[in-house]
Amino acid sequence: MATEGPATRRVRVAEHPRLMKLKEMFNSKFGSIPKFYVRAPGRVNIIGEHIDYCGYSVLPMAVEQDMLIAVEPVETQTLQLANTNPLYPDFSTNANNIQIDKTKPLWHNYFLCGFKGIQEHFGLSNLTGMNCLVDGNIPPSSGLSSSSALVCCAGLVTVTVLGMNLSKVELAEICAKSERYIGTEGGGMDQSISFLAEEGTAKLIEFSPLRATDVKLPSGAVFVIANSCVEMNKAATSHFNIRVMECRLAAKLLAKYKGLQWDKILRLEEVQAKLGVSLEEMLGIVEDALHPSPYSPEEVCRCLGISLQELRTQVLSPNTQNVLIFKLYQRAKHVYSEAARVLQFKKICEEAPDNTVQLLGDLMNQSHVSCRDMYECSCPELDQLVDICRISKKLPISLKTAYFSRQKKCASLDI
């Protein structure tokens, strides 16, 4: 249950080769034995791309690949972090003086996000240190949420060391908020499914308040994760945050067009909720209110009746203040149509018609086209994978983008 805390269980380390290897590496690194281990899985989003931060429901499921951390609390205030991957250097800092550099998305900063989030949630100022060895088998910058899994794992490590109790929902909300310390304006899907996932089911994740509903996938469908071999670290560029800001600007312009108090609006879902209309009606409003050609910052200011300085300091995030064009029509069209596809996907799974697999495949194909053309979060390699799989299997397929273009993508293949 979401109101419960994360599951704990006793295991015999010797019976688990990965744990045994991690224990041996920990002993080699720190000269001691870990007191406990924490795990958080990655995820694949089946449908609902780039709409969680707009306030809309998404439909992900966890994957077996995960982040695993061996932990030993220590009596000093030193936080020592190491990684089994030699590409990631060791790091140490004072547990009560956490500094996160947004300009450098180094691996240890994601751990610090989770650690700091728990620290600030409880208002603690005299934390004990710990030795931590991280082992992850989620491919980095892959669209499978390796960074968020590390944030979640770190949050769970910190709660455990402190002896505090939090529900899975509380942990997910704290970790979603704390990952923004590194500068990424995410919406909370990744952290939510990492904590709320259950074996054998996908989840409809809804926000405000956060809740998860089981979605039983058809027994005749197999979901395949494919690799386009193209990477993108969402925190290393402004690309992800530009999309977030474009959606925010679109929401404000739509609110202004409909006579709402636009300056209080942040998400596209808020506009729909305040107007009390359907997603299909919102798509019609987008056609009336926004034009397909890109908006300049100056045009946005004219539409909202604000100065360029106000736009940059009160609306845009720091790493989007110098963006020259905003594609508001395309982003809003994608968000409202994708939100509708999520609900249609869930309904089809519940009703389970004879052609369920075909119908779900059609929705995922539509999702990919929208991601490619409206949201521009695909890449040539991903599109080529889609074409190859469709030709090879003669069946619906959608290779999903989990964050932004030029990264390893997730694929869904109906068999």
For residues 127-135, average pLDDT: 96
3-state helix, strand, coil in the chain (%, to 5): 45, 15, 40
For residues 155-178, average pLDDT: 96
- The answer to whether residues 41 and 199 touch, using CB atoms and an 8 Å cutoff, is no
Sign of CA dihedral 21, 410, 346, 265: positive
The predicted pLDDT at position 234 comes to: 54
For residues 148-169, average pLDDT: 96
Q: What is the pLDDT of residues 20-74, one digit of tens each?
A: 999 999 999 999 999 999 999 999 999 999 999 999 999 999 999 999 999 999 9
For residues 304-322, average pLDDT: 94
The predicted pLDDT at position 1 comes to: 54
pLDDT band at 411 (very low <50, low <70, confident <90, very high): very low
For residues 221-233, average pLDDT: 77
The predicted pLDDT at position 400 comes to: 44
- Given a cut of 70, whether residue 394 has pLDDT beyond it is no
Mean model confidence pLDDT for the chain: 90
The predicted pLDDT at position 186 comes to: 84
- Given a cut of 60, whether residue 408 has pLDDT beyond it is no
- Given a cut of 60, whether residue 409 has pLDDT beyond it is no
- Given a cut of 90, whether residue 297 has pLDDT beyond it is yes
Q: Which of 379-389 are b and which e, b meaning 16 or more Cβ less than 10 Å from the residue's Cβ?
A: bebbeebbeeb
The predicted pLDDT at position 227 comes to: 76
The predicted pLDDT at position 141 comes to: 81
Q: How many CA atoms lie within 13 A of 309 on its CB side?
A: 0
- Given a cut of 60, whether residue 296 has pLDDT beyond it is yes
The predicted pLDDT at position 231 comes to: 72
- Given a cut of 80, whether residue 399 has pLDDT beyond it is no
- Given a cut of 50, whether residue 288 has pLDDT beyond it is yes
Query: Which residues participate in catalysis according to the annotation?
Result: 190
What values do phi and psi take at 83, rounded to 5?
Answer: -135, 140
The rounded Cα 4 to chain-centroid distance in angstroms is 22
pLDDT band at 9 (very low <50, low <70, confident <90, very high): confident
Of 100, 168, 107, residue with least CA distance to 135: 107
CA-CA-CA-CA torsion for 82, 85, 88, 91, nearest 10 degrees? Answer: 0
Q: Is 213 exposed, middle or buried (0-12, 13-18, 19+ CB in 10 A)?
A: middle
- Given a cut of 50, whether residue 402 has pLDDT beyond it is no
For residues 231-258, average pLDDT: 85
Q: Which of 336-365 are b and which e, b meaning 16 or more Cβ less than 10 Å from the residue's Cβ?
A: bbbbbbbbbbbebbeeeeeebbebbbbbbb
Percentage, residues of the chain above pLDDT 70: 93
pLDDT band at 185 (very low <50, low <70, confident <90, very high): confident
pLDDT band at 343 (very low <50, low <70, confident <90, very high): very high
More confident residue, 393 or 12: 12
For residues 93-97, average pLDDT: 96
The predicted pLDDT at position 142 comes to: 80
The predicted pLDDT at position 237 comes to: 54
Percentage, residues of the chain above pLDDT 90: 76
The predicted pLDDT at position 403 comes to: 32
The predicted pLDDT at position 414 comes to: 30
